Amino acid sequence: MGRKPSKNSNLPRGMRARVQRSGTIYYYYEIGGETRKEISLGSNYVEAVRKWAELEAAPPVIVTKVVTFRYACEVYQKKYLIENAPKTREEKLRQLETLLEFFDNPPAPLAEIKPIHVKQFLAWRVQRTQESLRKKGEAVEGNEGRVAANREKSLISHIWNAARAEGLTDLPNPCAGIKSFREVGRDTYVYDDAFQAVWEKADLPTREAMDLAYLTGGRPADLLKIDEMHLRDGDIEIRQNKTGHKLRIAIKGELSALIDRIRARKRAITGVVVSTKLLVNEEGQPLSKYALRFRFDAARSAAGLSGHEFQFRDLRAKAATDKTDKTKDIRKAQQQLGHTSITMTETYVRKRRGHKVLPTK
């Protein structure tokens, strides 16, 4: 019996993989004998396996058996992930790492992945999250990890559909019929006293970001990319990352005063080239999402509030709720948020503070 390969154990017998200087992986068919001659099979894994099957005179079914989940992920990443928005791509890349931790240890052929394995993944994902929290000394209520598990199950489904479209498998989607965990959406409304408590503990760049988030109702990613060049003809012109929708927010009232303060602070920074981004740190450099999160979390902690009570993204819902209460017209909030339907805005607003009704008498 020949020696069992220590690497690339997912490859069929007699097939080898080598990484070239360019970083590209090429596959070879080992003829055998004293000279150990090899035949190049190319760099495409599926085509290489098909050629290997021909050389081995193996039945075609063996080709589909060695197409692993990892390879399906790689195809999805190269051909389909590019269609998503940058933030979505970043999130899915993190999710892929988690999926491979489960489905690539050892490498799982697509032909062997069944619905039961998807169900097992969901349970494993929740357990993994909760164990991680316990190691950090954080309290575990029992629902942690469920949302992440659901999102990653959705990604499994996308990858499988892509694999079917690319001819990697003709098996039905294993996610079909497997129920996701029940999710309860965030329904926290940030009252003015909580906002003020965190605002007072925050540094100046974080205060500016909080004010901008509340006054515009923008998502954090959209706020951080606003450039002074986007301020035209008395408006802030925004293209939302998530939806691609364009918005023009009038620079009036408190928003106008805020922008004047930001510009004044930026003019006072000397000795460095100050970024044209609207939100900058004390050195005049763009405020990154990680810096904003760290600064906001520090201010919130100093104010004695938890992440459950106040998250930066809650300011978008607060803006919509307050706008609806002030104007008595939820369509104004819908326009400000860039929602495509009034139903979406109603769900967004009413869940936070509830319907406002009159008493019986």
Residue found under tokens 């309290």: 139
Which residues have a Cβ under 8 Å from the Cβ of 62 and sit 6 or more positions away?
12, 53
List residues bridging with 54 in a β-sheet. Answer: none
Residue found under tokens 């070879």: 28
Q: Tens digits of per-residue pLDDT, 291-326? A: 999 999 999 999 999 888 999 999 999 999 999 888
The answer to whether 98 touches 127, Cβ cutoff 8 Å, is no
Find the helix or strand (DSSP H, E) in which 20 lies: none
Q: Please state the rounded mean pLDDT for residues 97-116.
A: 92
Residue 136 pLDDT: 84
Residue 194 pLDDT: 96
Residue 220 pLDDT: 93
**Is 0.85 topped by the overall pTM?**
no
Residue 185: pLDDT band with limits 50, 70, 90: confident
Q: Tens digits of per-residue pLDDT, 225-253? A: 999 999 999 999 999 888 888 999 999 99
47 pLDDT more than 80: no
State the Cα–Cα distance between residues 220 and 316, nearest whole angstrom. 9
Residue 43 pLDDT: 84
Q: Cα Rg for the chain, rounded, in angstroms?
A: 27
Q: Tens digits of per-residue pLDDT, 108-155? A: 999 999 999 999 999 999 999 999 988 888 878 888 899 999 999 999
DSSP-H helix ranges across the chain:
45-56, 61-65, 69-79, 86-103, 115-135, 146-165, 192-201, 204-216, 220-224, 253-268, 289-302, 314-327, 330-337, 342-353
Residue 11 pLDDT: 67
Residue 335 pLDDT: 87
